[in-house]
Amino acid sequence: MKDYKNILIIKMSSLGDIIHALPTLYALRKNLPNAKITWAIHEQFAGLLPGKPWVDEVIIIDKKQLKLFGYLKQLYTDLRGRHFDMTLDLQCLAKSAIVSWLSGAPEKYGYWELREGSQFVNKALVGKHQYDHVIERYLDTVRQLGGSVDTIEFPLPSDATCYQHVVDMLGSEGIQDDYVLVAPGARWTVKEWPVLSFAELCNRLCQEGRKVVLMGAKDDLGKSQSIVDAVQSNNLVNLTGKTTMPELIELIRHCSLYISADTGPLHIANGLKKPLIALFGTTSPERTGPYGGDYIHLVISPTSKATPENPLIDDPECMAQITVDQVWDVYKAL
């Protein structure tokens, strides 16, 4: 692999996509231990990135201002002044291609799926995993640049202060450890398992004596409250909307089991190699699902038509075909 000295990785969103790109960061650092690595990202996802030795610097990109000439001029001056010798665009959209072009790097690369005109800025790095899981697609960029990929690791950040805050929040609810973490929301409604199904599952867990913690973004507050109202158990704790991104990572890091449909925190759980139960139907787990070892347990809707070639199916009834009994059987087997 060429001895790059100053690399810009561009992956600005979203949560799950950034997690999928972390093994590429790991591989780059292992191949180039002395390079300076900078990551361009949207502010709300910056908490997902680890610090040194993995990432030396973070550049916050304001998506809303990318169409404004004044902002572009400022970004141009900033990026050019950093003298990058290579950009690796793992977003491959118009917005990321703009950042790649503004960088002025003499070598600009992306993974094979260049979209929205990004092919006019970046050179596609096409490997043998072109149609495999997106993690492998990203890793092919390192392979095609002559680097080695020996393992798949997710260098997620760790924060002792955030961990202590999580411990305090859980302790105030009577939870020390050994809790099941449940995320009822998802970015798109079509990916969600019905709230009533989550409520029944949580009710069974609570009746068995398990401590169950609900989590998610503020947009998920309504779903979580519906579950709390339905279950009415002291074993159920609702922390939805109460954690920052670093605290969310620590909350997931210390759970004993994670359960959700295809949503961003699922990929954090996967990156932390936590035992997890993932519910899929309208998206393809072969393309963007949890990827790794035997800690992953998938429950796939019997009516799922999602494939790696057609990874998102707009079928509002698909996820409802997963029964509580199916998920419960997987849980009991664990």
Q: What is the pLDDT of residues 272-316, one digit of tens each?
A: 999 999 999 999 999 999 998 899 999 999 999 999 999 999 999
Question: How far is the CA of 126 from the CAs of 114, 141, 334, in angstroms?
Answer: 11, 7, 39
Judgement on whether residues 74 and 172 belong to the same structural domain of the protein: no
In a domain, 1, yes or no: no
In a domain, 25, yes or no: yes
Cis, peptide link before residue 246, omega less than 30° from 0: no
In a domain, 229, yes or no: yes
Only one residue has tokens 């109460």, namely: 242
Tokens of 29: 């650092």
Judgement on whether residues 116 and 172 belong to the same structural domain of the protein: no
Domain with 320, as residue range(s), is 160-333
The CATH number that applies at residue 53 is 3.40.50.2000
According to DSSP, the β-strands at 257-261 and 236-238 are unpaired
Judgement on whether residues 201 and 139 belong to the same structural domain of the protein: no
In a domain, 151, yes or no: no
Judgement on whether residues 166 and 34 belong to the same structural domain of the protein: no
Model confidence over 184-208: pLDDT tens digits?
999 899 999 999 999 999 999 999 9
Whole-model pTM: value is 0.95
- Across the beta sheet with 123-125, the strand order is 57-60, 36-41, 6-10, 86-89, 108-111, 123-125
Residues 6+ apart with CB under 8 A from 236: 202, 206, 212, 214, 227, 228
If residue 70 lies in a helix (H) or strand (E), which one and from where to where? helix 69-80
What pLDDT does 177 receive? 84
Average pLDDT, the chain: 96
Judgement on whether residues 189 and 322 belong to the same structural domain of the protein: yes
- 240 phi and psi, to 5 degrees? -60, 130
DSSP 166-193: HHHHHHHTT--S-EEEEE---SSGGGPP
Judgement on whether residues 18 and 55 belong to the same structural domain of the protein: yes
What pLDDT does 234 receive? 95
Residue 176 confidence (pLDDT) above 90: no
Judgement on whether residues 185 and 294 belong to the same structural domain of the protein: yes
What pLDDT does 292 receive? 86
In a domain, 118, yes or no: yes
In a domain, 154, yes or no: no
In a domain, 52, yes or no: yes
How many domains are there within the chain? Answer: 2
What pLDDT does 330 receive? 98
- Show the CA angle centred on residue 191, arms to residues 188 and 197, nearest 5°: 120
If residue 6 lies in a helix (H) or strand (E), which one and from where to where? strand 6-10
What pLDDT does 18 receive? 97
Last-in-domain residue among 117, 144, 171 = 144
Model confidence over 16-41: pLDDT tens digits?
999 999 999 999 999 999 999 999 99
Judgement on whether residues 171 and 311 belong to the same structural domain of the protein: yes
Model confidence over 205-247: pLDDT tens digits?
999 999 999 999 999 999 999 999 999 999 999 999 999 999 9
The DSSP symbol for 231 reads H
Residue 217 CA from chain centroid, whole number: 14
Judgement on whether residues 56 and 178 belong to the same structural domain of the protein: no
What pLDDT does 187 receive? 87
In a domain, 155, yes or no: no
Judgement on whether residues 197 and 279 belong to the same structural domain of the protein: yes
Judgement on whether residues 227 and 119 belong to the same structural domain of the protein: no
Tokens of 143: 């392979």
The DSSP symbol for 283 reads B
Model confidence over 53-91: pLDDT tens digits?
999 999 999 999 999 999 999 999 999 999 999 999 999
Sorting pLDDT into bands at 50, 70 and 90, what band is 165? Answer: very high
Tokens of 50: 């680890």
Residue 9 confidence (pLDDT) above 90: yes
Tokens of 278: 């993932």
Q: Which letter, b or e, does each residue of 50-75 get, where b requires 16 or more Cβ atoms within 10 Å of its Cβ?
A: beeebbeeebebeeeebeeeeeeeeb
Model confidence over 94-151: pLDDT tens digits?
999 999 999 999 999 999 989 999 999 999 999 999 989 999 999 999 999 999 999 9
Last-in-domain residue among 94, 114, 144 = 144
By the 8 A CB rule, do 272 and 250 touch?
Answer: no
Judgement on whether residues 124 and 193 belong to the same structural domain of the protein: no
Higher confidence at residue 176 or residue 193? 193
